[in-house]
Every structure is written in C-alpha cells, then in structure tokens.
Amino acid sequence: MTHQVALITGGAKGIGRAITLDLAAQRWRVAICYRTSEREAHETATAITERGGTPLAIRCDVSDPKACQALVQQVEQAWGQIDALIHCAGPYHRINLLEETPAGWAEMFDHNLHPIFYLSQAAAPGMKARKSGRIVTFSMANADQMVAQPEVTAHYIAKAGVLILTKTLAKLLAPHGITVNSVSPGFIDSGSAPPGELAGVVKRIPAGYVGEVKDTVAAVKFLLSDEARYVNGTNIHVSGGWGI
C-alpha cells in the first residue's frame, strides 16, 4: 500500500496537531516539525502510534533556510516523497508597534512568512517531478483587509504577505499539477488563548460562537482532496464571518 506523506510545521500543538492526527487516522504518513515544543511533539507522535501510524517528529528551526532544506531532505529520504506541505507554524506576540523591538519585529517574519518560501522552494522539485502536490498555508481571517493593527503589526503584515506568496506559488506551480492555497482562521479554540479571552470576542463574531479546531481541519481536508484539484491560489476564511 502506498501511503501519502505530509510534512506539517507546527504539528505538535493546536490546529497543527489536529490536522496531524486527522491525516494519521486516514493512513497518511505524517512528519511534524517543532522548534521548542518537544513534550507536545512526543505526545503527538505517541498518539499517531496509538492510531496505528508511523510518526516522524523532527526538531527544526524553520526560520533557517538551510535547516528547512535539510528537513525536506530528511522526510523525503525516510518516506520517498512529500505529497502535502502544510504550514501551521505561526507564533505571535502582542505589543504596541511603537514599543516593538527590532528583534521582535524580525521574529514575526522569520517564523510566519519566510519558512513558507524556504520549505516550498525545497519541496517543489519533488512535487514537480511527480506532477502532483498540495501546499497549504495559514494566514488570518482579516489579513486581506489591510486594516491597522497597532498591537500585532508585524504578525499581521507577515500574514498578509502569506496571501501574496500563496497566490504567487499557486501560479508558478499550477502547470506542474500542484495546488497552493491558504486557510485563514478567525477565533478558534485551539488551546492557545485563555477561555476568558475567547468568551469576550463572541459578540464580534457574526456566527455567534468561537470555532473549533475541527472547522479548520475540515478546510484543510478539502484542499488536500481530489475534489479540490482545480482550487488553486484561493484563501478560505474559517471565521464564522469575522474579519470579512
């Protein structure tokens, strides 16, 4: 039996973990990479094993282009190919723009935007050779609105850049049977935000409730499916109407 192979950045926690476990349940071989979440990565790998899968958890700083190249090579050497590249890594911090540091500013781009370029460039040759592949990026639900974001400025600009990069990759890779699409979550109960904070934003969500990780997983599953073979360069909002 030929298994499909996915490489998921940020696959140890939150939305990335949910996607990882869902694909593992569908008999995908899933490689996850993490930077600091060693305990969570081990727990996720154990969960994959318990579901009958074969886990591969790799520590990698995806802000380093050479490390990204080595990561892709390691997965391809282990399993022969990468059918899906899913970029879930995306840390953020809240700080007023006028109090932001150069290091904090650079960090948002180094971990949210640049890895998509590094990893996509590294994975593209194998996908092109097979005339098949899926790349899924993650932005945020209002990143296409170009509104002021005084407390998360660098993160917001990086996520807007993700949308431009996604469209560009889609146009370049479409002739080779590869699709590149973005998922843009709004407020999702992924465990990264305090419950009180999520409860406070419900009134701003037209749907009237906070989303669950399964809502985001469903969007990714669609983009990886054969039904989405002609969907390329798009951005799917998973936000209950927030941010549009």
DSSP-derived 3-state class of residue 116: helix
Q: What is the 3-state secondary structure (H, E, C) of 27-95?
A: CCEEEEEECCCHHHHHHHHHHHHHCCCCCEEEECCCCCHHHHHHHHHHHHHHHCCCCEEEECCCCCCCC
Structure tokens at 147: 């509104």
Q: Among positive and negative, which fits the CA dihedral 8, 223, 120, 189?
A: negative
Closest CA to 83 of 197, 175, 178: 178
What 8-state DSSP symbol labels residue 152? S
Counting every residue written for the chain, the total comes to 244
Catalytic annotation present for 156: yes
Burial state string for 9-42 with b = 16 or more CB within 10 A and e = fewer than 16: bbbbbbbbbbbbbbbbeeebbbbbbbbebeebbe
Q: Which of 118, 156, 209, 230 is catalytic?
A: 156
Mind telling me the catalytic residues?
A: 156
